[in-house]
Each structure stands twice: as C-alpha cells, then as structure tokens.
Structure 1
Amino acid sequence: MQSKHKGFSLIEIMVVLVIIGMLATMVGPKVFGVLSKGYEARITSDFATMKTALTAYKIENFVFPSTEQGLEALVSEPQIEPRPKSWSGYLDKLPVDPWKTPYQYVSPGDGVPFDIYTLGADGVRGGEDENADISIWDEAL
C-alpha cells in the first residue's frame, strides 16, 4: 500500500510569502510610528519628573545643581561646591532615556536656567527623526 504525502507546492508557498510581505509593508510603519510616540511620551514624562525635582532643589537651596554636580544631585547629596544648604533627596533614581542612555544636564543652559536633553537613538549630537536630540525646552514636546 502506498501512502500519499500531501505538501505545499512552490506556488502556494510563494503566494503566502508575498501576502506576508505585503502585510509587513503596511503594518510595519504604523508599529514604528506607535513606538516613536511612546518614546516621546516617556521622554516628556521623564522631563516633567526631573523638572519638578530640580524646582524643589532650587526652592530649598536657592540654586540649581551645577553642571558638574549634574542630575546625580537629585539622587545623592553633592560633595562638590556649591554644596546644598538643605538636601532632602529629590528622586529615588535617575530615569534614563528610551535608548537606555542617561539624560544630559547643563546649568545654566543656553538662555535658560538649566537644560536636560537626550541625544536620541544614536547617542550623538544632531540627527533627525529617532536620532534627533530632544531638549526639555523643545516646543514639539
């Protein structure tokens, strides 16, 4: 007795692959767009948290942490000048950007009391789209 094995023909496999490819080209950009919006929302939330902590630091100490002290001054008491007059711990831990890189901080910023920014996905100054630098002062956020 012969057993008959049924399988897929090359044409059937090719049709399925073409359909999968078409679906990927239609759905892929939407998925990446949602990811990008999620990154923006996270960055906006992180900026708001750090801005609140920096404001509390300034209220208690009359100055923002220096660039040298950095955002770390919100987590542990600075040991370099200007030493805070009153330090009470402002954050349990520092957030990192969506690409797992620490946020950058300078004080004073360019025409602003401080600046917090991320260098984007590539971690290098400049760039476009996902690689663009994003500052707490960007109006697009």
Structure 2
Amino acid sequence: MIALRNSRRSVQGFTLLEVIVVVAILAILATVVTLNIADAPGQARQTRAKQDVQTMVNALNLYKLDNFVFPSTEQGLDALVQRPGGQPEAPNWKSGGYLQSKAVPKDPWGRPYLYLNPGRRADIDVYTLGADGRPGGEAENADVGNWVD
C-alpha cells in the first residue's frame, strides 16, 4: 500500500508554479526571436544602401581618374551612366559609363541617392536619408552615406 502511494506521487506531474515559470520563459524567448526577425528587413535595406553608396563612390573615383574632377552637383550621379553636359567637362568619359547598370540605382526605399560636390562631410557626399526620407534618424531611418562619423 505504501509503495502504491509513493508511485502515485511521482506520477502526479508538474505544479502550477512550474508550469507558469516554463510558460513565462517561452514567452520571453518568443518575444526576443520575434523582435530580431522583425528588424531583419530593415537591417538588410541599410546594408544594401551601404553597398550601393560604396559602389557609386568607387565609380566616382574612377570618373575622377579619367576626367581629373568629380562631376558637379548639377551633373549628379547620372554622370556615371551618361556623358554629362555642362561644366566641368568630361573629356575622357568612359564609353559605357562607370556603373554596370544603365541607370543609377534607387535606394532600397525607392528614392534617388543624393550627391553633393563639394560635400558637407567629405570631398563628395553620396547618401540616402533612410526609410523616413528625413535627415538624421535611428535604425532603419538613419542616413547612410560615404562619410565616417
């Protein structure tokens, strides 16, 4: 009879407190995973913007090697894909342009990249204003450019 009572006790299962603790731990883990996954697309867009900016800066440096100057702000990034008119002239502009594509890419949020010559933060500035399209911001809204803060 005593053996039967002891075996029943060992088969009774978890207490309510143990179940609540396990559910709370699972809820915390689910929240952490969800937050990390939810932010992944924003991080991917920021990474793509950084890569695009670096590609265009490299192309602008090649442009300068050929033509001795960067394109003006007015000539813009289009000078990388079609011979620019106006000043400064591009006498040695490379046939086919300086980018692999036939058009200057848009930023990951569908807006044109911005270009300044002279730049405010570097010799030239190539940048995007992030997801919100406004200067400054945090995370996905942060500006992405060729400068080092």
Using the size of structure 2 for normalisation, the TM-score is 0.70
1:48-59 correspondence to structure 2 within 5 Å: 48-59=54-65
CA offset digits 1:33-87 (Å, max 9, x no partner): 2222212221121122101110110000000011111101101111121121111
Pick which of 113-122 and 127-136 moved more.
127-136
Percent identical pairs in the alignment equals 48
Hey, what's the Cα distance between the residues in 2 that align with 1:33 and 1:74? 33
Question: Aligned-pair RMSD on alpha carbons?
Answer: 2.1
Please tell me whether residue 126 in structure 1 is matched to residue 126 in structure 2: no
Hey, what's the Cα distance between the residues in 1 that align with 2:55 and 2:88? 23
Question: How many residues get paired?
Answer: 119
1:36-115 correspondence to structure 2 within 5 Å: 36-88=42-94, 89-91=97-99, 92-110=102-120, 112-115=122-125
For structure 1, the residue ranges without an aligned partner over 5 or more in a row are 1-20
Hey, what's the Cα distance between the residues in 2 that align with 1:67 and 1:130? 26
1:118 is displaced (CA, Å) by 0.6
Point out the structure with max Rg over C-alpha: 2
Hey, what's the Cα distance between the residues in 2 that align with 1:138 and 1:98? 21
1:26 is displaced (CA, Å) by 4.6
Change (3 A) 1:116 1:133: same
Hey, what's the Cα distance between the residues in 2 that align with 1:40 and 1:30? 15
Change (3 A) 1:28 1:138: farther
1:24 is displaced (CA, Å) by 7.3
